Every structure is written in structure tokens, then in C-alpha cells.
Amino acid sequence: MKIVIGSDHAGFSLKEFIKEHFRNSFEFEDVGTFSEKSVDYPDFAHQLATLISNGTYEKAILMCGSGNGVAMSANKHPNVRAALCWNEEIAQLARLHNDANVLVLPARYLNHDETDKIITIFFNTLFEGGRHTNRVNKINIH
């Protein structure tokens, strides 16, 4: 599966772990950042979200220190449903009920084991559809 991945400086280390750890599961397009040098998180969130919004990629992983900044930025784009997930249950529900297409991780608050579990459940959970479909269709206001 091809996915896009991005982070700010606070998420850089976790992003590099994810790319290495899941190298046999995903083909990554990394939109940056490429070091721990301080950057503005919206720049990377918008670049990643554009690739989801325009259909270049179906799913993505995005991270910053808390996850909030990149989630807020990414969710400004049409057809982007970026979900901040800090445990397996939230990740599963984000897919089941919200058809989330961008997994947002709070890099400063997750260890590698938690990250592995969250990513695994997110990418292995299908959207439940049914009563949730109409709700998901109402997310975009454009």
C-alpha cells in the first residue's frame, strides 16, 4: 500500500521509526520535515492533506508533538478526515465510524509499541458504513 507521511520537527523521530518499522507494509512518500530543526507544522500538514484531498493518496500518517496542530491544519482540506489517535480503540473507531483517512499521532506522547499497535489497527480496520455513511458525508461543508 502506498501512503503519504509527514511531520514537523517534534514528530520527525517517530516518523523515521514508522518508515523503518513498516517498510515491508507500506511504500511511503515522505513530505517532510527531514530533521529535528524547528519548522512550522502547517506547512507539512497542508502539503500532505493536499495529496489526500486531490486523490493522489487514499491514506496518510501525520504527526507533531501533540497532534492537534497538524490535525487542525489537515482538516481544513476537502475530503480529509484527519483523526488524532492516541490509543488502539480511538484508531479503530476513527476508521469504523468516521472513515478517517489521515491517522494523526501525538509524537511526544507515544512510545514505539503503542505507535505500532495504533497504526496496525488503523490500517486493518474497514469503514463500517451503514448509519455512519450519511454522517461522514456531512463532514465536508464545501
Q: Which of 21, 46, 97, 132 is catalytic?
A: 97
**Inter-axis angle of helices 88-96 and 112-124, nearest 10:** 20
Q: Do the beta carbons of residue 32 and residue 5 sit within 8 Å? A: no
Helix (H, G, I), strand (E, B) or coil at 84: strand
Q: Three cell numbers at 118?
A: 495504533
Q: With 0-12 CB in 10 A as exposed, 13-18 as middle and 19+ as buried, what is 105?
A: buried
Is residue 97 flagged as an active site residue? Answer: yes
Q: Do the beta carbons of residue 76 and residue 93 sit within 8 Å? A: no
Measure the CA–CA gap between 34 and 72, rounded to whole angstroms: 21
Q: Report, as residue numbers or ranges, the catalytic residues.
A: 97
